Amino acid sequence: MTEHTAATDDESEAVRRDADTAESSSANRHWWDRNADDYQDEHGSFLGDARFTWCPEGLDEAEAGLLGDPDGLRGRTVLEIGAGAAQCSRWLTARGARPVALDLSHRQLQHSLRIDQGLGLPPVPLVQADATVLPFADGSFDLACSAYGAVPFAADTARLMREVHRVLRPGGRWVFSVTHPVRWAFPDEPGPEGLTALSSYFDRTPYVEQDEDGNAVYVEHHRTLGDRVRELVSAGFRLVDLVEPEWPEGLTQEWGGWSPLRGRHLPGTAIFVCVRA
C-alpha cells in the first residue's frame, strides 16, 4: 500500500511536478527494490503470508468476494498486478485458482520466494514487468486484481487499463484498490493535521520525491474519481461497484496516513470492481 510519508528517503525532497512514464517507472522500481525489505518487515504481519487484504482498513477478499464467490475460484487464471510478495496470490492458490504475480520490483518478488520457501509451498509463478506493458498474450486470464499495486504509481494509467483489458477474457473481472482520490487534497498525516484540506482535489500534478540533482526517486500519480471511471470505460470495462471500506471499530493499527482518526472522517481507499466487456 502507499508508503510515501513514512518512507521518504533521508536526502530526498517532496515536490509536485510532472513525471512521465519512463521517469516514474525507473524511480519506483529502484525505490521498491531499496525499500522492499523494510516494507515487508513493517507490514508483513498485517498482510499475512497468504491473506488477501485489499487495504489498510483490513477488508478481506474472503469476506468481500469482490472477485466473485471465493468457492468459484477453482481453476481460474488470475493476474495479480503490483503483487509485492504475492500474499494475495497465495490466498488465491489455496482456493484452487492459478495466479501469476507480477511486479516491477525484483526485490519484492524475492520476498514471495522467501515466504514460499518458509512455508514449504510450491513457488507462486512470478513475472517482473511494468504493468503498462504486460508480457502476456491477449485473453490469457479469467481475472485480474491489484491491492494498491502499480495503479497509484504508473504515469499512464489509461494505458494500464487497456493492457489489463487486452489480457483478460471477455466477462473477466478487474478489481483494484488505490488510495481514495479525495485524500490527495489532504496532508498525508495520521493525526489531526491530516483532516484539513490544503491542496486541490483537482490538481493532477504527480507527487514526486527527488534527489539533490532533481532526479525522481519515488513517484505517485493522482486521478480523480471521474478520471478513473473515464479511463476504465474508454478501455472497454463496465464499472459494477465502487467500494469505499469504512474504518472498522477496534482497528488501532496505523499505516502511513491511514489511522482510526482519519478513518472516522474520510474514506482512505477506493476499490474499483469492473467487468471486461
Summarize as ranges the residues that interact with ligand SAM (CB under 6 A): 1-2, 25, 28, 32, 47, 82-84, 103-105, 108, 130-131, 147-150, 153-154
Residue closer to ligand SAM by CB (options 12, 157) is 157
Residue 121 or 195 having the CB closest to ligand SAM? 121
Q: Please, what is the minimum distance in Å from the beta carbon of residue 28 to ligand SAM?
A: 5
How near is the Cβ of 66 to ligand SAM at its closest, in Å? 14
* Cβ 6 to ligand SAM shortest distance, Å: 11
Rounded CA separation 61/90 (Å): 12
- Residue closer to ligand SAM (CB basis): 91 or 200: 91
Q: How far is the CB of 220 from ligand SAM (least distance, A)?
A: 10
Closer CB to ligand SAM, 64 or 104, in the complex: 104
Q: In the complex with ligand SAM, which residue's Cβ is closer, 124 or 147?
A: 147
Q: Across the beta sheet with 237-243, what order do the strands follow?
A: 126-128, 98-103, 77-81, 141-147, 168-179, 269-276, 237-243
> Whose grid coordinates read 513457488?
123
CB of 84 to ligand SAM, least distance (A): 3
Q: Which residues contact 225 (CB under 8 A, 6 or more apart)?
A: 181, 242, 270
Calpha distance 145→140 (Å, rounded): 14
CB of 172 to ligand SAM, least distance (A): 19
Cell of 139: 485473453
In whole angstroms, what is the distance from residue 25 CA to residue 1 CA? 17
Best CA proximity match to 270, nearest among 195, 207, 177, 193: 177
Looking at beta carbons only, is 18 or 264 nearer to ligand SAM? 18
Shortest distance (Å) from residue 235 CB to ligand SAM: 16
Instruction: Say if residues 199 and 184 touch (Cβ distance below 8 Å).
Output: yes
Helix (H) or strand (E) holding 234: helix 225-235
Q: Quick one: 2 or 210, whose CB is closer to ligand SAM? A: 2
The amino acid that residue 35 corresponds to is N
For residues 141 and 92, give the distance between their C-alpha atoms in angstroms, rounded to a whole number: 14
**178 CB-contact burial (10 Å; exposed 0-12 / middle 13-18 / buried 19+):** buried
Beta carbons of 208 and 15 less than 8 angstroms apart: yes
Between 136 and 195, whose beta carbon lies closer to ligand SAM? 136
Nearest distance in Å: CB 192, ligand SAM: 25
